[in-house]
Chain A
Amino acid sequence: MKYEKVLTKGIGEVDLTRIENYEAQGGYQALRKALKGMTPQEVHGEVKRANLRGRGGAGFPAGVKWGFLPDDGRPRYLCCNADESEPGTFNNRMLIEYNPHLLIEGILLAAYAVRASRSFIYLRGEFRKGFRVLTAAIEQARAKGYLGDKILGSDFSQEIVVHRGAGAYICGEETGLLSSLEGGRGEPRIKPPFPAVAGLYGMPTVVNNVETLCNVPFIIERGADWFLSIGTEKSPGTKIFSVSGMVRRPGNYELPLGIPLRELIEDVAGGLLPGRRLKAVQPGGASSPVLLPEHLDIPLDFDSVQQAGSILGTAGVMVFDDTVCMVRTALYYADFFSHESCGQCTPCREGTAWTARLLRKIERGEGTRDDIEVLKSLRSAMSGTTICLLSDFSITYLQSVLKHFAHEFEAHIEGRACLAGHAREVRSA
């Protein structure tokens, strides 16, 4: 193996849902180390020094985020965002279902570092197995004294509450998650105030992604310097890439950040199917603009991908070959977003639905050039005009496709057969 597995170590080899197996490969050592010999400030400092960037999509350094909590004596909460609903992204799910104790240990360490009075896991509602696994793992951890009152004999006590969502993509947005967790409609809130100041029940709250938290035990155990030695200078550490689409071996691959896109697709994922040509790659989930074959050599880290005009996001890499109709992919995403908008803000609620209806019309060959112009014009009306970023992200992919694959739209409008033939992979809902 060329690269060392960190987070995914043992997955597929031993049953890590059993706490003994997890402990056997060094699990809960970091927690023990922190509780025995480190202050919360030291844990926080280590994570901050490791420059652990949030794996949920934005890439914001977790240590900096933790530092935003005001020190005013109010109770603090830690929320683990396990509402992984991004199309083409499935790494959190694997961690939850196959390595639940790593997540629990990560949460405990983070809770220790930020001195949270309670931790919550907001779990995507559809993760039935994940829920079973997590609750069982929490019980095991409690039985072993890793959870509950006076953990491992220290003064640190912590409870973890697992809350299942009800099936809304928007609850993966941190404030939407908090609204849903409080029992309200899963609708994002206006920022500021940020969750760090007024989050869950109005209290200072940290919201971190599953994968981010899973990195914490290793940083504590092996030190920030070890972490900084992996990946690139600005994006240290490993990342689990969820590769899907027209490759031979789709799946989750844990690789250091900064690995070239070409290596990921051609070596790790086994390359394209025989006889197919690469058309486009989405490097980070539904909202990431397409990368073209010319971008194959860029390193996959947060900054390089951004320079290439896209975002690394959740690292849900989707590979489209020449059998894929780009109009249909755009329609698929538009349908997705128009279904998943929470419906609060006018531009998003109406704009996503309009986009989807126009794309459907175009995809059916009934569109006009005016419709294309309307789609292009929506960018300004839907970007930066809403409470959360769903509206912005709902059209970024479309805009990139409109730019790079305008001829496919032309073809649909002129009623010619779609260039790509019939790609079954993309349903038009």
Chain B
Amino acid sequence: MSDTVTLTINGRAVQAPKGMGLVEAAALAGIEIPVFCHHRKLKPVGVCRMCLVEVEGQRKPVPACTTQVADGMVVRTESDLIRHLRQGVLEFLLLNHPLDCPVCDKGGECPLQDNTFKYGPATSRLSVPKMKKRKAVDLGNFIVLDEERCILCRRCTRFDAEVACEGTLVVGQRAHEALITTADGETYDSYFSGNVIELCPVGALTSKAYRFKGRPWDLSRVPSVCTACPVGCNIELDFRFGELARVLSRENPEVDNGWLCDRGRFNYRYVHSADRVTQPLLRRGDTFVPVSWTEALMEIASRLRSVVRDHGPEAVGFIGGGRLTNEEAYTFQKLAREAVGTPHIDHRVAGQKVTSWAGYPGRLDDIDGADVVVLVDVLPAEQMPVADLRIRRAAQRGAALLALGPAAPGYRVPHTFIPVMPAGLARFLEEAASLVAEGEGQGRTGELSTTGAPAGPGPAGVDGQEALVRALRSARRVVAIWGGTDAAVGRALERLLNACRRTGDDRRLSVLIPGEQANSRGAEAMGVRPDRLPGHRPVEAGAAGLDTAGMLQAAAQGRLHALYLVGANLQETYPDGRLVREALSRVPFLVVQDLFLTETARQADVVLPAAPFAAKSGTYVNLEGRVQEVQEAQAAGENSRTDGDIFRALAEALGRRLDRSSHEIRWEVQHLLEELTVDGFVTGAALPGEAGAGAPAPAAGTARGDGNRADGRRLELVAVSRLYGGGGTARFDPAFSAVRPRAEAIFHPDDAAELGIAAGDPVELSSGPEAVTLPARISPQVVKGTVQVPRGAEGPAVNMLLTGGWHAPVTVRRRVLEEVG
């Protein structure tokens, strides 16, 4: 049976794969069939009627988008009838379409303009006034709708239903009054809302950020890679007069599949923020004075030299690197290891323990074919949003989606959430592993109820474990996505996957770990780790340096005399605010290299202004190990420099050249990456063993001091990732800061009732001497017995209550009004 069919289009024989739509088949032969509603990423609906073609044997013209090719089909796309019908459709579409083109953001890249030009009638026969609809309708955070311009092709609503799987955007009303609107009581605040702008074939859905900023022909376009999260979506940066005007998707089917999240698409104006540090700053008493680069670098070099002289090179620590390119990260560790001579260097700034894992390497497209997707203590929508679209689609297609952890993912696709407290997660997985191994071949599930005891302090029940075990037993292709915050969980996950592997040979098991920063995985491969040299080579036994936690502890105890932070706002990102505070205030010399004067940078002795991602060229490694290259899109600007240039200049100031030319570093990195590459992807590191390298994390679940106040109640604090949360890039973006989450404490309704808390009440969360007051919110999505707070939110820093992990027991108390004042 052949997989291709032969059909005739406009008299030409065309070979096309079976099941292909006529529009695509014609495109294969270089014949264009104009479309509006059709989009190859969405299911065809055939509503715009632009693609009508004649098929021999059919009474009526058929829409090419919904018609599949068949052997011997004879199609005509350019007959008089078809030309006439196209003119008719365009005349209909333009009847009430406003004459807005000169002010429309789509003008110049508008399929309606293009198709009208190619196929349309020259004039309109409308002899009555155009019908009016609303202009500039505010749909949500980033999207403006012009109802008049809308041609109701429904690409946007279909995207929201089929790809984002949310169903917020819908068609309202009917007939000529039909319009795009949101479901009752909702605003279009999807994380993926920006995609509808690119899907819209007219200027009906436009971006608030790019609204009236320019015309498409003004823009100079540079291909790039998004650095907002470790997925590494391919983007196009559009500049006007040297200013970044907008970010578009640059489709890479293997990575982003043509989609972008709103963080990646709209969080770009920080690049031109007025709050950027534009000159090196030197502390003089309580204030900073701007100085020249030479002066700043000489100051750093002399201070570092004196620290090394007095206390040895091991008194210097380097933290950061997950936002750097591979080349910069490589230079960074060279600066630390060669120019300064310290082993203390770590890229992990947000409590992640494991960034990559050589066992069970996962690819993003594994999710597409998976029949079980297991989320282990991870919220993909917040940490790897565009990859989450694949998960949603898999779940909608029928794959089992199971989420384990202390916080529920807010899916609108079928899924099973198994609440497990982080402390009990490893045990839960290990028990599941033994159940999978035991039950192999027997298919018994009755025993589960006796062996599967509730795990950990969480309310995880037997049912959840049973669901997981049952799904894994029958699965052929399993994708596990893991947050990487606890090495013990990783080992348990390994055991679970090993158990699955034993049960069948042709199973494909893969693990994906979203790094905490965009290039965490690259930084790790480049050796920005205390225990590994470039290329995942382990350091000699006993020569491992301190990891981030170790360095902070050493600094707090006065053992570390200089700390160099690169793109790391530890005050906000590190899950132990108290330790960071003590470390930063104790360390005698602190250098911060960043775009903004963050709270961490404000404590520095020297602040070096770094250039944003658009000014860099180099490579990034995404969460699956894919190497992607970017070119410099924009000059670094007057006084900021790229991180790599800063490292090189500083090394020179320290009297050591790191390279003879920038090519040398590039060549070395390329060589390293090639060595690490297996099947086209950079491999991950080995999972840390039982006696994991790096300082042991403080035992989860131990509270600092005695928090048992008589009037409070103990709940588990769970700090969850938020896509719009986080540091400088969100806060100093004039457009994006508005959507940054606000600090709040979210309770399960039962807990709230027990505590007597109503929505909006001020609630005090305390752990030992530290207390944070937050407004309360109540949501049934929160697991009972936990209180959820967003990470990187605007407001009081909740990491003051944490002790190294993103969860800790806290005492919760409703504050009475007098106390608040």
Direct contact of A and B (CB under 8 A): yes
Whether the pair B127, A190 counts as a contact (CB closer than 8 A) is no
Q: CB-CB < 8 A to A374: which residues of B?
A: 125, 127
Q: Which of B91-99, B563-571, B655-663 contacts its partner?
A: B91-99
Q: Which of A37-45, A74-82, A146-154, A352-360 contacts its partner?
A: A352-360
Given A354-B92, A381-B85, check contact A346 B48 (CB 8 Å): yes
Query: How many angstroms from the CA of A354 to the CA of B129 in the assembled complex?
Result: 11
Whether the pair A341, B176 counts as a contact (CB closer than 8 A) is yes
Whether the pair A387, B46 counts as a contact (CB closer than 8 A) is yes
Whether the pair A350, B125 counts as a contact (CB closer than 8 A) is no
Answer whether residue B539 sits at the interface, using C-beta atoms and an 8 A cutoff. Answer: no
Number of interface residues of A (CB under 8 A): 34
Query: How many angstroms from the CA of A380 to the CA of B128 in the assembled complex?
Result: 21
Give A383-417 as 1s and 0s: 1 = Cβ < 8 Å from B's Cβ atoms: 01111000000000000000000000000000000
How many residue pairs between the two chains, A and B, have CB atoms under 8 Å in the bound complex? 98
Whether the pair A352, B95 counts as a contact (CB closer than 8 A) is no
Q: CB-CB < 8 A to B173: which residues of A?
A: 343
Answer whether residue B291 sits at the interface, using C-beta atoms and an 8 A cutoff. Answer: no
Q: CB-CB < 8 A to B49: which residues of A?
A: 345-347, 385-386
Q: CB-CB < 8 A to A368: which residues of B?
A: 127
- B47, B48, B66, B126 — which one has the most chain A CB atoms within 10 A of its CB? B47
Whether the pair A340, B175 counts as a contact (CB closer than 8 A) is yes
Answer whether residue A370 sits at the interface, using C-beta atoms and an 8 A cutoff. Answer: yes
Nearest CB to that of B128 among chain A residues? Answer: A357
Whether the pair A353, B131 counts as a contact (CB closer than 8 A) is yes
Query: How many angstroms from the CA of A168 to the CA of B802 in the assembled complex?
Result: 58
Nearest CB to that of B63 among chain A residues? Answer: A190
Answer whether residue A371 sits at the interface, using C-beta atoms and an 8 A cutoff. Answer: yes
Q: Whole-angstrom distance from the CB of B149 to the nearest CB of chain A?
A: 14
Answer whether residue B61 sits at the interface, using C-beta atoms and an 8 A cutoff. Answer: yes
Q: Whole-angstrom distance from the CB of A198 to the nearest CB of chain B?
A: 13
Q: CB-CB < 8 A to B550: which residues of A?
A: none
Whether the pair A343, B175 counts as a contact (CB closer than 8 A) is yes
Answer whether residue A88 sits at the interface, using C-beta atoms and an 8 A cutoff. Answer: no
Query: How many angstroms from the CA of A185 to the CA of B178 in the assembled complex?
Result: 12
Nearest CB to that of B127 among chain A residues? Answer: A371
Give A181-206 as 1s and 0s: 1 = Cβ < 8 Å from B's Cβ atoms: 00001000010000000000000000
Whether the pair B176, A338 counts as a contact (CB closer than 8 A) is yes
Whether the pair A380, B93 counts as a contact (CB closer than 8 A) is no
Whether the pair A350, B93 counts as a contact (CB closer than 8 A) is yes
Query: How many angstroms from the CA of A361 to the CA of B171 in the assembled complex?
Result: 30
Given A380-B84, A384-B61, A387-B46, check contact A343 B152 (CB 8 Å): yes
Whether the pair B47, A387 counts as a contact (CB closer than 8 A) is yes
Whether the pair A342, B174 counts as a contact (CB closer than 8 A) is yes
Answer whether residue B52 sits at the interface, using C-beta atoms and an 8 A cutoff. Answer: yes
Q: Which parts of A201-244 form the interface with B (CB within 8 Å)?
A: none
Number of interface residues of B (CB under 8 A): 35
Whether the pair A339, B175 counts as a contact (CB closer than 8 A) is yes
Answer whether residue A53 sits at the interface, using C-beta atoms and an 8 A cutoff. Answer: no
Please tell me which one of the listed residues A168, A352, A381 contacts residue B88 in the complex, with CB atoms under 8 A apart.
A381
Q: Whole-angstrom distance from the CB of A122 to the nearest CB of chain B?
A: 17
Q: CB-CB < 8 A to A358: which residues of B?
A: 127-128
Answer whether residue B309 sits at the interface, using C-beta atoms and an 8 A cutoff. Answer: no
Please tell me which one of the listed residues B45, B50, B59, B171 contacts residue A346 in the complex, with CB atoms under 8 A apart.
B50
Answer whether residue A351 sits at the interface, using C-beta atoms and an 8 A cutoff. Answer: yes
Whether the pair B52, A354 counts as a contact (CB closer than 8 A) is no
Whether the pair B92, A361 counts as a contact (CB closer than 8 A) is no
Q: CB-CB < 8 A to A338: which residues of B?
A: 175-176
Q: CB-CB < 8 A to B178: which residues of A?
A: 343, 349
Q: CB-CB < 8 A to A349: which residues of B?
A: 92, 152, 175-176, 178
Q: Whole-angstrom distance from the CB of B322 to the nearest CB of chain A?
A: 45
Query: How many angstroms from the CA of A353 to the CA of B91 in the assembled complex?
Result: 13
Q: CB-CB < 8 A to A345: which residues of B?
A: 47-49
Answer whether residue A25 sits at the interface, using C-beta atoms and an 8 A cutoff. Answer: no
- A344, A358, A385 — which one has the most chain B CB atoms within 10 A of its CB? A344
Query: How many angstroms from the CA of A345 to the CA of B47 in the assembled complex?
Result: 4
Whether the pair B60, A384 counts as a contact (CB closer than 8 A) is yes
Q: Whole-angstrom distance from the CB of B190 to the nearest CB of chain A?
A: 20
Nearest CB to that of B125 among chain A residues? Answer: A374
Answer whether residue B587 sits at the interface, using C-beta atoms and an 8 A cutoff. Answer: no
Q: Whole-angstrom distance from the CB of A25 to the nearest CB of chain B?
A: 43
Q: CB-CB < 8 A to A346: which residues of B?
A: 47-50, 89, 92-93, 151-152
Given A190-B66, A350-B93, A354-B92, check contact A342 B175 (CB 8 Å): yes
Q: Which parts of A297-346 form the interface with B (CB within 8 Å)?
A: 338-346
Whether the pair A370, B176 counts as a contact (CB closer than 8 A) is no
Q: Whole-angstrom distance from the CB of B259 to the nearest CB of chain A?
A: 25
- A170, A350, A354, A374 — which one has the most chain B CB atoms within 10 A of its CB? A350
Nearest 5 pairs of A and B residues by beta carbon: A381-B88, A343-B178, A350-B92, A353-B176, A384-B60
Contacts A185-B174, A352-B176 known; list 4 others, CB within 8 Å: A345-B49, A347-B49, A349-B92, A349-B176
A-B contacts, 26 of them at CB < 8 A, read A170-B174, A343-B152, A343-B171, A343-B173, A343-B175, A344-B152, A345-B47, A345-B49, A346-B48, A347-B49, A347-B89, A347-B92, A349-B152, A349-B175, A352-B175, A352-B176, A353-B175, A354-B95, A357-B128, A361-B127, A371-B127, A374-B125, A384-B61, A385-B49, A385-B52, A385-B61
